[in-house]
Structures are given as structure tokens and as C-alpha cells.
Structure 1
Amino acid sequence: MKQYQRALRSRNAQFNGVPIFFKLEEFSPPAIKKTTEEVRGGRLMADKIMTGFEAMEWTVKLAGAGIEELNAYGVHNDEPFTLSVWESYSDEHNNAFKIEYIIRGQILEVEQEGVTMGSKPSHTVKGSARYFKQTENNQTIYEIDINRGIYDLGKGNINAIHNQHVNLN
């Protein structure tokens, strides 16, 4: 199947079930980055072996939100939260694509950006995920659950056999 360029057509989002649709300016989902170590053994050339993943960090930029709204969203509480984002894209041939993100974790930082006369306040919220699921047209792209040892990169849990070996299923 040919892949064509896509454009974001619509987006909706919630912090802890509270809609942030009208405030959401920007969303960056967690990057899935492997950590590796060099291995050589008796070989002339070194290789890399995967040893884990880096922490999953995400960012949301909210425009026009006041402190009372941020508190209502739960971004200043030191409690677990859920961020849900739904996006709809279309490509050059008007094919539609539904992307869904579910993130559970903690807030790491809330930064207020400078405000000039006549502009609206803007906050950048950064967090770390303990659970992250991304689907496209209901097909799993990523599902990572640190607490349950699930690391599905789109083709099943790569840690499943190891979880069985230590009775984590």
C-alpha cells in the first residue's frame, strides 16, 4: 500500500477526563527510545545490544489557561493522571486516519511562557508516562505498561517470555 503525506484535520483531548479541546495548542507524544550497550566479546567489530528503554516523556502546550483551570485539570497535583488525545488525519487522497493516545503517569513540570500585551497566557506541561498506548485505526502501534512489564511495539509484547519466566503474567 502506498503511503501519502498526512495532515492533521481535527484533535480532541482530556486531562483526567476534563476537556482541554479549546486550549490545546500543541501535543508531543512520548518518544520510544531504546537504550543499548556495546558488546564485543572476541569479535574485531563491536555491536550493540538493547538493554531497555529511556523514560517516556511527553509535552502539551495549553493557551489561555489560568491557574484555576490548570488545577482543575490536575496538573499541579502530585497524583497520577490520565491524558487522552484523539486525532484525525487525512492524506492526499482524502483517506482518513484515526490516532488515539492514552498516557498515564506524572507531571514533571509546568512552565508559564512570557505574556505580552494583548496575548493570552500559555503553559507548557511536561510529564513522564508509566503507561502509554498509541493506536492507528484501532491497531496498536505502542502499548507500554511499566508496572505490568508490557512492551508492545506493534507486534506483541517483546517481554512476554521473560514475564512468564518470573511469574509476572
Structure 2
Amino acid sequence: MSQSSTTLGIAAHTNGVPLIGKTKEFKPPTVEKVTEGVSGGRAIEGTRTKGWKMNPWSFQQEGMTAEIANQMGLGAGDTYSLTFKESILDSDGNKIPYVHEITGEITKRGKDSSKTTDEDVWSLEGFANTYKLTINGTVVDDINIKTQKVIIGGVDQMADHLANIR
């Protein structure tokens, strides 16, 4: 089993086409268990699970074009689809593909800064309605807020609950 791994390439894709330029950094939406304290009638507080949430995703892209910037507008209610492909090299020499598929809304976008001789880098951020992570062909996470599909770590978190109410 590998001891370490390194991302050697990332590319952002929209509508199946790689974006022009270089994807500098990508932060996928993180899945977080939502809990609350339970203390009524207890000497020591316990915790109960309320559900899950997805935190915002973001990425930085060098070489933004006017066409792409206009497509990634901030129109109210506009849903946008992005795919990020990574190539990972582990310490055993394995080349592992990661695929992150996101649909949602872009909430922030703009040029980072303008200085002579600096790279032309734009930062984008948004929230996800759907997120699917596939590593080496295996689905790890698959979340859909509208349908309440919640697969985390390859385990369907809602399957037993839905079976209990059907």
C-alpha cells in the first residue's frame, strides 16, 4: 500500500471541453456531518446527527477567456456544470485518475489581481447541488441535494432509512 501521493495534473472541464489555460488549484466541496448537542435532562451533553451538508467548492484558473468568463456569470438561479480531472502519482508508481463532477451555482468569480509580469489568474467559488467523486473508476461520494441521494465513502447513508418508510 502506498505511503504518499502527489497531484501531478488538474484540468477543469465544462460541457465536456477542457477550459483554456491551466487549473492552478481546485478545492472540491467537502461533505460534513451536521450534529447538535443533546443536553435536556442529562448530566453530560450528548450529540445527535441531524444530517449532512456540502461546503462550497472553488478553483483558480489561469488564462481565462472572455467567452468563459461570460459563461461563468453570476446570474440568479443559473446552474453550471463543471468536471475536474486529476492525475495522482502514488509512491508505488501508480497513476490514479480522480474525477470530480459538480453541478451548482457560481457565487463568486473574478480576476485575482493585476500586476505587471503576474499570471492572469481568476478565482471562482460556488455551491454544489450535486457532487460525484470517482477514484480509479470507483464511486466514492455521490450526493444530490434535490433527490437526497447521499453516498459517502461508497456507502448509501439513506438506503436503510428510505427502506424503513416505504
TM-score using structure 1 length: 0.86
Whole-Å separation in 2 of the counterparts to 1:99 and 1:166: 35
- Tell me by how many angstroms 1:104 deviates: 0.6
Give the direction of change, closer, same or farther, for the CA distance of 1:100–1:28 in structure 2 (3 Å limit): same
Q: Unpaired segments of 5 or more residues in structure 2?
A: none
The partner residue of 1:75 within 44, 48, 72 is: 72
For residues 1-169 of structure 1, what are the structure 2 equivalents within 5 Å? Answer: 2-20=1-19, 22-71=21-70, 74-76=71-73, 78=75, 79-164=78-163
Give the direction of change, closer, same or farther, for the CA distance of 1:166–1:67 in structure 2 (3 Å limit): farther
Q: Unpaired segments of 5 or more residues in structure 1?
A: none
CA contact (8 A) 2:20 2:63 kept: no
Q: Indicate the RMSD between aligned Cα atoms, in angstroms.
A: 2.0
More strand by share: 2
CA contact (8 A) 1:56 1:130 kept: no
1:96-150 C-alpha deviation (Å, 9 max, x unpaired): 2211110011111113211111223221100100000111111222111111111
Number of aligned residue pairs: give it: 164
CA contact (8 A) 1:12 1:21 kept: no
CA contact (8 A) 1:104 1:131 kept: yes
- Name whichever of 140-149 and 59-68 sits farther off: 59-68
CA contact (8 A) 2:89 2:96 kept: yes
Whole-Å separation in 2 of the counterparts to 1:44 and 1:96: 52
- Tell me by how many angstroms 1:164 deviates: 4.3
CA contact (8 A) 1:37 1:48 kept: yes
TM-score using structure 2 length: 0.87
Q: Give identity over the alignment, percent.
A: 24
**Structure 1 consecutive aligned stretches of length 4 or more whose deviation exceeds 6 Å:** none
Whole-Å separation in 2 of the counterparts to 1:138 and 1:54: 25
